[in-house]
Structure 1
């Protein structure tokens, strides 16, 4: 060790040694960084980083060696063989490349150490190829002990360097790896130079030019710094691009693409943080659920582009009203959520600002939209113990606000939990009812207004609960839609109604309602065809009723579906006409066989001139389009007489017959059943 140190101190120019060490350290650090970048990529990109790594490593190794050689003072004239000098550079670059590639392999357990050993061998080959290019006026000999030691130092320290550099999970290891690689390069060189012996053989007229060699050393150092700098620049540029890409991906991951508001993921992070702050400071936060009231109507009537425009405008408004401690995010569709860090009297002000922004008109093209919204509010920790409960209670309050036409904002109350538990219990019991035979079909007669002849019966689902008695459809049908039971219920009603009607005498029509979920089902025409085949009901005796809102989700698909159903021979009635969109375009486009006028108009036809005018207009419209009109909800003789005078085709209501079980209708003598079908009737 002392001999090596003596070689450095007494046989070298200290300034050139210092310069060589500087190049060695900088080059080693850059090499390790480039190698780690290569290890974190794959494919062609990894190959590119390997090339940069090999060039940077080769430049660091060769320039360290060359500058230190120029600084070596053997005491005799020296020169360099140009061919071998250039060859030594190629050996450094080409020899190091496979070592770095091997070190990145995931197939071998100790691949980094093996690859580092290959790089160490490349350093050895470069050094001693360079020594062959070193021409001195004397006889050269080698101390084999130091020579072997130099090889061992290079291979061992290079292997340790890449083993450390491969630990990408520990950023601090890059400094250790750079130091070890520097020791491999410098340790090899100075130990190898200690092994170098020269016996002078001076020739007259031959001498060295120290100043020229030093200038050459400085030039080489400059080139080395340029190469190393290029490696650093490549790394920094890629790092900058990666940072920008990561930031862009992070923005995309946390931001709603349409409105540029924070999305659900961002909301969850923010809510976690606000709850933590509230716990630490004893503060309170309000969570506000926001659901737009008429967004579906906007989409259906004006298209999704108009709906998107409304969402963007509302998002801009809500973003602009935010103050410190306030946050708004879009969760999806027409659902938003806001967080407010509460101060004295601040919550009501925040809610007022939200209402103003949500209820102000929005100009979209040549029409004006006023979306409105239902807001549900729950407060932490007053109304909830944790995040999940807070979100759930906010949803409960929002649904209460949505169901109350007189309130835009509803605060959470404990009684809401009782209501939701009751709904969940009823939903569970509805599933049991479907399996245990608690469901039945009642039938309401439909007659011709003029002749009072029976035209058919509408099948209406009824639920006889063992404890509650009859549960109104207005209660359990929405539950079935919410819990995914509506398809099973719909098929049960369709199959049973058709099966029983198949044996009616006279063979009246049976009308069955279709829910929106049923109509959205792709296999509906196939199901209808199977039911008709299984039950033996002629298709012309089945009438399917659906509301206009059912069609607007996808008009093109709806038209195609209706045509498929009509091709089976089944008739189609437009139910509740007058309460939804009542679009003339719908009547012109879709092949309806009947229009059912909603009972809300019939109930007021005797007292309201406006209702009478609407009824008269609908009847005239039906006649002009050659579509029969059935009036629902006939309860008085006066209503029936007025409809007869106005030319109404058919009627249905309590005056003509209440919904009743099939057995009761059979007992009344309105129809009779074949023996096989009679078994299907509940006693």
Structure 2
């Protein structure tokens, strides 16, 4: 046997090794690519891999043939050469297909062994295509070993390559190809061979060109596969990064979702289109742990879960469960039809739970469950406060107005009548002033309870504000109305025991009946108020029904109020002055200023008639300021420096502006403060004692005198005299009428005079009309007096010359 490698060209052997390894690398690379695809794409990559393996085997064999130098020229048969290439490709394709489409190491190894068989076949067909003379001798044992080893290496190469070790697999496949080719050359004996004519054959030179072309094709395919592999690698890396980013985002979203669902205040459930629970958060367990226990809710049907949550677990035959199931099936039908269901249920434990079912695209639905007990109770409380008085829990004005409107509607369409009742407590302010607002509130609460206790159908009690209440009574007979009013009277006129004191309450009641006394709410309420004020004005009446003349009275008061304001604007008032004299010396000590009003079309109106209306309408403030300013201007012009006494109403005394008004008038008129005396009644002080005394102290600090008027009537409280250093006490005229022949009147006058002496406060008696009355006062030591006996009210000579000037100045 000839020596193998010395008979070959080393350069071509090296080239054969390069082509072999490059083709092997490309083949294993394409093998992995075909493994990652399926269908048509896989078939294409199997075909490309088969061609590359076949080309690599064929090129390695024939480069080796060209590298062999037997000592004579060799040529090649064209058909056999082509057939050898085709056989190599087809057998390689079978091996690649088997390894790619099979599963397991054994199949992959077998596929590689089939490719090793293609390597062996090229030895047969390639030698058959080589034109030489003589007979080739074979070392069959060596050839067998070479073929078996080559097939084994090829099988191992496929196993390694398909386990992602492409480079190692390529080396094994290259060694198998190269080794089998030159191992077969070593097993062949060419000693008996010689050259043959190359007529019609492929010469070595021509074969070199063909082998070069095939090698370049193999190299090109390998390079292309490497480029594709790199592109795939980059694409795979990009996809992997995208998948990682998506996975990270999904993880983040999932984490946020878990956090949201875990910590959300609502229970959350996801039901599939078949009605079974697919997901729920932990809030469900918190809401209904006592109902569901430790059971896994996933997979539970909506119907069963709803029954469990609502506490309906009795047998199917039980009517409540059947009713619940029927209701739940109705809810499911609505949800399936695409309707959102939102409702609340009161659970057996008293909680109010809100269920909201929202359909989703796939036919399932999302259910949110929320405990709205506190919210509903708060809303109920707000609604209650909106229509109820917070102190007494009775209906308030808004709710009462709605009840009256509803009663008007009902009574207009039926034979049922109704009455509106206005209720006002008498002297309730005295309770607040005497015992404090805490006691006053307790009284109002007790009255609210009494008035509302035992109410029947069609009866309503409301508190409109302060000490003002109202009632509504639907009735078909006047007897039922009277019985209702009797109950109201019994509740009003009773003793109430508070935490501190026991007080007696009273009230005035006015009644207006639909439709005789009004056909709408406004008219009925107004007429009931008129009746109530009539009852309050009359000493011997607690309850008063509305009468038509009450409207006339109210209209007259409104007309007088309007004329009072016109009189303020047009200087329609004038002043009269009543002299005040010393009882002992009969000397003039001053004058009391009296207001007079000659109402156009009505003549002279007594102050007792128009002053209360002026106070109600608010005109008293402007009138009082006019009186004060006019009187001070007049007194400042008198040649004699007599003192003037001006009455101050309760309304004026409650206004801090009075201090500023007095100061401004004194500055404007130039009247000395010592010549001005303001007269106030104890009733006006009691209205707001702290404020009134604060205002009087400021006025007294200017040097103005302050007298307490009408003493002996009203409260006659010694505490009032103690609280403020009055400059004069005026005895009311009611005690002077029979002081000269009535021992009781004389005793009262004597007591007041003694009180004045003990307090060092001078006393003036009003209403002195006879000499005998004056004698009594003189005998008892009274300081001053005024009355018709001493001088009737009228103009003063000095004042008449000033009056036109005052009117011109519109004071």
Tell me the TM-score normalised to structure 1 length.
0.65
Contact 1:504 1:674 in 2 (8 A): no
Shift of 1:96: 12
Residue 460 of structure 1 aligns with which residue?
594
Compared CA separation, residues 432 and 84, structure 1 to 2 (3 A) = closer
In 2, Cα distance between equivalents of 1:525 and 1:635? 35
- Is residue 2:224 matched to residue 1:90? no
1:77-116, aligned counterparts within 5 Å?
Answer: 88=250, 90-91=252-253, 94=256
CA distance in 1, matches of 2:258, 2:598: 84
Alignment of 1:538-549 (within 5 A): 538-549=672-683
Give CA-to-partner distance per residue, 1:320-366, whole Å, 9 cap, x none. 14222111111111111111111321111111111111111234467
Which residue does the alignment assign to 1:54?
A: none
Give 1:640's match in structure 2, choosing from 774, 779, 798: 774
The secondary structure found in structure 2 opposite 1:580 is coil
Give yes or no for the alignment of 1:311 onto 2:437. Answer: no
Does residue 320 of structure 1 match 2:453?
yes
8 Å contact kept, 2:634–2:802? no
**Structure 2 residue 669 is the aligned partner of structure 1 residue 507:** no
Q: 1:614/1:283 Cα in 2 relative to 1: closer, same or farther (>3 Å)? A: same
**1:95: Cα distance to partner?**
8.9
1:7-55 Cα shifts (integer Å, max 9, x gaps): xxxxxxxxxxxxxxxxxxxxxxxxxxxxxxxxxxxxxxxxxxxxxxxxx
| Maintained 8 Å contact 1:499/1:677 | no
CA offset at residue 613 of structure 1?
Answer: 1.5
Deviations 1:166-187, CA, capped at 9 Å, x for gaps:
x9xxxxxx999933xx11x679
Query: Which residue pairs with 1:658 in the alignment?
Result: 792
Tell me the SS of whatever aligns to 1:375. strand
Q: 1:93 to 1:640 in 2, by over 3 A?
A: farther
Q: Which residue in 1 is equivalent to 2:714?
A: 580
Q: What is the CA–CA distance in structure 1 between the aligned matches of 2:741 and 2:631, rounded to whole Å? A: 37
TM-superposed CA distance for 1:578, in Å, is 1.4
Q: Compared with structure 1, are the counterparts of its residues 92 and 284 closer, same or farther at alpha carbon in structure 2 (3 Å cutoff)?
A: same
Asked whether the equivalents of residues 562 and 591 of structure 1 are also in contact (C-alpha less than 8 Å), the reply is no
Give 1:559 deviation, angstroms: 2.4
Determine the C-alpha separation between the residues in 1 that align with 2:259 and 2:578.
87
Report the CA distance between 1:466 and its aligned residue. Answer: 2.5
Contact 2:507 2:542 in 1 (8 A): yes
CA deviations 1:443-489 (Å, max 9, x no partner) are 11111111111111111111012221101111111111111111110
1:535 maps to 2:669: yes
Q: 1:93, 1:366 → 2: CA distance?
A: 64
- Select 1:178's aligned residue among 352, 358, 364: 358
What aligned pairs does 1:199-598 form with structure 2 within 5 A after superposition? 231-232=368-369, 236-237=370-371, 239-344=372-477, 345-364=479-498, 368-598=502-732
8 A contact 2:710–2:730 mirrored in 1: yes
Q: Is the 8 A contact 1:573 1:594 kept in 2?
A: yes
State how many pairs are aligned: 475
Alignment of 1:680 onto 2:784: no
Residue number in structure 2 paired with 1:107: none
Aligned mates of 1:678, 1:268 — CA distance in 2: 54
Contact 1:548 1:580 in 2 (8 A): yes
Q: How much has 1:86 moved relative to structure 2?
A: 8.2
Residue in 2 that maps onto 1:626: 760
Does the C-alpha gap of structure 1 residues 388 and 492 become closer, same or farther in structure 2, counting only changes over 3 Å? same
Using the alignment, how far apart are the partners of 1:333 and 1:607 within structure 2? 46
Change (3 A) 1:366 1:603: farther
Shift of 1:97: 12
Aligned counterparts of 1:412 and 1:673: Cα–Cα separation in 2:
48
Residue 650 of structure 1: how far off its partner (Å) = 0.9
C-alpha RMSD of the superposition:
3.0
Written as runs of structure 1 = structure 2, the 5 A alignment for 1:8-87 is none
Structure 2 unaligned segments of length 5 or more: list them: 1-242, 261-338, 343-353
| Structure 2 CA distance for partners of 1:652 and 1:306, relative to 1, 3 Å | farther
- Cα separation, partners in 2 of 1:244 and 1:444, compared to 1, 3 Å: same
1:292 offset after TM fit, Å? 1.3
Inter-partner Cα distance in structure 1 for 2:672 and 2:589: 16
Q: TM-score scaled by structure 2?
A: 0.55
User: Aligned partners of 2:248 and 2:743: how far apart in 1?
Assistant: 106
Structure 2 SS opposite 1:614 = helix
Distance 2:722 2:480 in 1: 53
- SS across alignment from 2:358: helix
- Tell me the secondary structure at the aligned position of residue 453 of structure 2: helix
For residue 573 of structure 1, give the secondary structure of its aligned residue in structure 2: strand
CA distance in 2, matches of 1:369, 1:636: 44
Shift of 1:87: 5.4
- Inter-CA distance 371–413: structure 2 relative to 1 (3 Å threshold): same
Structure 1 gaps of 5+ residues are: 1-80, 99-163, 168-173, 188-224, 667-671
Q: Which has the higher contact order (CA 8 A, sep 6+)?
A: 1
